[in-house]
């Protein structure tokens, strides 16, 4: 068994062995790490174990995707929460310019999009296009209530007199 198979299957015992051997951030032929694979295959206990062992959260696969992007794409809220709690960057872009918020918006992952917005994911130049994509996604899927999270009212927002 490889560390990659252990991560995909959530084999905690095997992962412990690889962690003890210092093999935690090795990348496979596609650039995936154990953390990326555990995140993508919804192995929350494996993700937690790897994060406790200080797995590098910002390593990217050959397409530029991180563990957070994979979890957002697949819709795994618990894993997104774990990664954010441990400090994963929401602003990282892949080779196509997509962020975790881009994936959440594109694939209708409402709870993940709200969480990322709460943590400040829609800041900066990429945030504007992600917000526009979010509005389209939420309107098309009938989740209009969430739009208020996309453009939150600030103290500088003019009000009608």
Global pTM reads 0.79
Question: Which is nearest to 102 in space by CA: 128, 64, 76?
Answer: 128
CATH level 3 topology of 3-150 = 1.25.40
Q: How many residues does the chain have?
A: 161
- The residue that leads in pLDDT, 119 or 155, is 119
pLDDT digits (tens, 9 = 90+) for 102-152: 898 888 898 998 899 888 886 555 555 656 666 665 555 555 455 455 545
pLDDT digits (tens, 9 = 90+) for 54-82: 999 999 999 999 999 999 999 999 999 99
């Amino acid at each position: 068994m490889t560390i990659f198979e252990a991560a995909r299957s959530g084999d905690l015992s095997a992962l412990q062995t690889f962690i003890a051997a210092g093999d935690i951030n090795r990348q496979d032929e596609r650039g995936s790490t154990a953390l990326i694979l555990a995140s993508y295959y919804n192995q929350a206990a494996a993700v937690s174990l790897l994060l406790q062992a200080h797995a590098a959260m910002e390593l990217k696969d050959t397409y530029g995707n991180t563990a957070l992007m994979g979890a957002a794409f697949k819709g795994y809220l618990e894993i997104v929460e774990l990664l954010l709690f441990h400090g994963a960057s929401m602003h990282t872009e892949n080779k196509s310019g997509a962020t975790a918020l881009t994936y959440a918006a594109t694939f209708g992952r409402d709870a993940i999009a709200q969480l990322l917005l709460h943590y400040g994911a829609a800041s900066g130049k990429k945030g504007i296009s992600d917000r526009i994509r979010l509005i389209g996604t939420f309107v098309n899927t009938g989740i209009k209530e969430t739009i208020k999270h996309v453009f939150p009212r600030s103290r500088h927002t003019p009000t009608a007199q």
